[in-house]
Amino acid sequence: MGAGLSLSRAEEVPDYAMHLQIKAEVPVEDVIATAQAAGRAILQIYNSEVGFATVRIEASTWEVQMKSDQSPLTRADKEANTIICQALQNINPHIPIVSEENKIASHAVRQKYQYYWLVDPLDGTKEFLKRNGQFTVNIALIANGAPIIGVVDVPCQGKTYWAVKGKGAWLRTGEGQRRIQCAEFGFEDPGLKICASASHLNKETEEFIQLFKNPEFVQVGSSLKLLMVAEGAAHIYPRLAPTCEWDTAAADIIVREAGGVVLAAGNQDNKGNPLQDWKEELLKEAPVVYNKEDVLNPYFVVFGKRKAAGP
């Protein structure tokens, strides 16, 4: 240093941290448009393969890869992810993105997020490969462990569901837009509609279904099950099998804003084995939370609008 500028150890500059508050706007219409653009890209790939009869042939044309958890990854997943990530960065470059198809930051980093996007660019890749149309595009904005914006596009149905915290849940189609509400029910009602995964019907789920009187059981793929509850097409959706946070967050707030709940029912391991008594955990009425160290969801149950218990 120059003469007279040397510092003793006691005079070293402290390591200050500057706390910043950044004001930002998130136009919900832009998020809806982003999900729909990704849905159109997926649908273009999906429709380009009409006529292929087997998953073996589809796998070669759709460039299917297997991820480390043995779940499939297609060209449609990757193209949708690119569209979504680029659009969300344009909407607000300060909000980080957590996507199933991106490298996930450590929890030490993620726990400092004030807000972040939680994305599944193609929820229901297995359903995409089966060609049953039961797949969705999921985009959620998370704050303090809960979704505050959720958009779910259903490409094969021409439907987009969306919700904003405190503003209700909505369904948009080519014919317009309407508010949606969960159906009201009581646990003793006969013939309740219960939906469950087409790929994960296990003994815990069967045990849950047996608690009800002559229920009508429907098997559907992807986040469509939560949406069925949100718009009153089903009363209950038990998920006593593995899912990740990006599978549920967007549809979660749509259910909440439609008058339902998404309740945790005990932790599980990565093979879906229960680590707690799901019945006892469900009675705690604790909502599913997001931005955990492990992105694996607990068991959970989605209820529509439950009638208050009688006297």
Instruction: Give the angle 234-286-106 at the CA atoms, nearest 5°.
Output: 105
Q: Does the annotation flag 120 for ligand binding?
A: yes
- What are the two backbone dihedrals, phi and then psi, of residue 159, each rounded to the nearest 5 degrees? -120, 145
Using the structure block, give the residue that is written with the tokens 């930051």. Answer: 105
Q: How far is 120 from 102, CA to CA, in rounded Å? A: 10
E strands present in 83-134 = 97-99, 115-123
Sequence-distant (6+) residues with CB within 8 A of 248 are 223, 226, 262, 288, 297, 300
252 annotated binding-site participant = no
Is 123 known to sit in a ligand binding site?
yes
**CA dihedral of 264, 270, 274, 279, whole degrees rounded to 10:** 10
Structure tokens given for 149: 């914006």
Question: What Cα–Cα distance (Å) separates residue 31 from each residue in 34, 142, 161, 253?
Answer: 5, 14, 11, 15
What is residue 117's three-state secondary structure?
Answer: strand
Contact 87, 66 (CB under 8 A): no
122 is in an annotated binding site: yes
CA distance 311 to 293: 42
Q: List residues forming the annotated binding site.
A: 100, 120, 122-123, 247
Q: List residues forming the annotated binding site for Mg(2+).
A: 100, 120, 122-123, 247
